[in-house]
Homo-oligomer: A and B are copies of this chain.
């Protein structure tokens, strides 16, 4: 592929896991109501410009920074690396990639020490850090445990036009692919990539980018996710439930997508599987498989394909978007030109352009 990001001559930093999102919101108090009062994230500290939040089982300073700003966007997707030296490595790695980098020995945000932020080859603001303030891990603080408790940050999901290009770049960076969605013509629609032993630390979703599709928090059990829906119903904000709850085909996790007051998308996610073996099998899904995105065949709403959050460059300006040129997953699966199947062997589902037998009709136009 001519468009491939070059592989640097040096080893990449040893990334441990996705760690936090630095998120710009336009009304801090309104966002606080959503993340603290509705979702129950725990406040590590806050001031008039920013709120630092963490999930129940987290011991680093935060998993989410809400930062007041003029335009709703993502200021950084931050990964923790294995050692202080890996921050140096990250800086060198991206410099060799020709990317703009910024190093701050005291960190970009409270609670985080020596860090480097970069504008990566896909246009995303990535941060790498090791130093962080340890805070009380609330794992056994069941006196604080809400019915819809969020216990871990699970992953990011990024929108980028050219998924294979992004995938190769992330594989060079040490990520491994657990699952992907393709078609028989070789087009890749999405890929899931991990460092920790879960299905992903980040995923790439094909579309106009760079944008953040969502970030995901994990719960312990499925009923915790149902409670979040029930609570949003009680608060009469059910219109902020965008999609789900459901069972993913990809990842096998039980999921829910909701929208924050700035339309940043949050996934609530539980019970994917262990991926830590070196030969963990990669699963490839057919884009026409009607159970790939929802194992129960429930429809993906169009907004889920089209909407996403802007990301910022290191000056704090929104990155311009590059159009996806390959076919879109929405187009090939929904509506007049798309088709999907539930049972690939059904005769009527054997050629494109016609709804397959076994497809759940009436719900996808």
Contact = CB atoms under 8 A, between A and B. Distances in A.
Nearest to A197: B197
Interface string A219-250: 01111001101111111111101100101010
B59 A297 contact: no
A298 to B, nearest CB: 7
Interface string A242-284: 1001010100101000000000000000010110111111000
Contacts of A220: 221, 271
Interface string A281-298: 100000000110001111
A147 interface: yes
A114 interface: no
A362 B231 contact: no
Nearest to A14: B278
Interface stretch (A100-108, A136-144, A168-176, A311-319): A136-144
**Interface residues of chain A: helix, strand, loop or mixed (majority):** loop
Interface stretch (A91-99, A159-167, A299-307): A299-307
A142 B233 contact: yes
Contacts of A343: 236
Contact of A146 (B141, B147, B279): B147
A57 B274 contact: yes
Interface of A: 16-17, 57, 59-60, 80, 82-83, 134, 137, 139-147, 149, 151-152, 196-197, 220-223, 226-227, 229-239, 241-242, 245, 247, 249, 252, 254, 271, 273-274, 276-281, 290-291, 295-299, 301-303, 342-343, 358-363, 365
Closest 8 interchain pairs by CB?
Answer: A238-B297, A142-B230, A233-B295, A142-B234, A142-B231, A147-B147, A143-B234, A229-B296
